[in-house]
Each structure stands twice: as structure tokens, then as C-alpha cells.
Amino acid sequence: MTLALERPSRQYDDLLVKDIKFLIEGLDENIYNIIKDYQPLDQVEYILVDSRNYHYQIMLHDSGKVELMRQQYLSDNRLGEPYEVEIVNIPQFVCCLLG
């Protein structure tokens, strides 16, 4: 007997965006520098989170899609190669942020 499961199409969750914003609001501003900017042409809210070790760019699209780019600071204070990922759930976001 063969069983075929159909993978559901990805639907973006407004709750995911709300939860991410809530987690970012809870970050310690003594450790993280946080800048928020909405770009209406891109229809994206950019949230920049910077610590002394990592630089994060979180992109919250109006469609509900969430992307995260992470870069580590190198010994000469330049940013290293970017690591980009689409975020689909809160545990994945926390893992990428705490990395």
C-alpha cells in the first residue's frame, strides 16, 4: 500500500510576525541596538538588531513573509558573509537569533 501526503502550500501567519515583534521588543537595549524602518515601496518593515558580535536584518513583508539575514563581526570590526533564511516558525527565529 502506498500513501501519498500532499505538502500544504506555505501560508504566512500574522501571528508569527506579531510574535517576532514581541520578542524583539523584549530584547535588552543595553545589549542590542535596534532600528526599525518601514519602506512603503518594498512593502517591508526592516528591523536592524545589532550586538557586539552579530548584525541581524529582519524583514517583515506585508505579505506575511519573514526573512532574516545574520552577519558576524570579524576581528577587524567588518561584517562577515551574510547568512540568509526564511523564517517559518518562532523556534527557528529564536535559534537563528541566538545562533
Say what the pTM is: 0.82
Reported as a pLDDT band with limits 50, 70 and 90, residue 2 is very low
pLDDT at 1: 40
Tell me the sheet residues that pair with 99. Answer: none
Is the pLDDT at 53 greater than 70? The verdict is yes
Nearest residue to 23 via CA among 90, 70, 92: 90
Which is more confidently placed, 7 or 36?
A: 36
Is the pLDDT at 90 greater than 80? The verdict is yes
pLDDT at 52: 86
Whether the Cβ atoms of residue 86 and residue 8 lie closer than 8 Å to each other: no
Q: How far apart are the C-alpha atoms of 92 and 55, rounded to whole Å? A: 17
Q: What's the whole-number mean pLDDT along residues 61-79?
A: 94
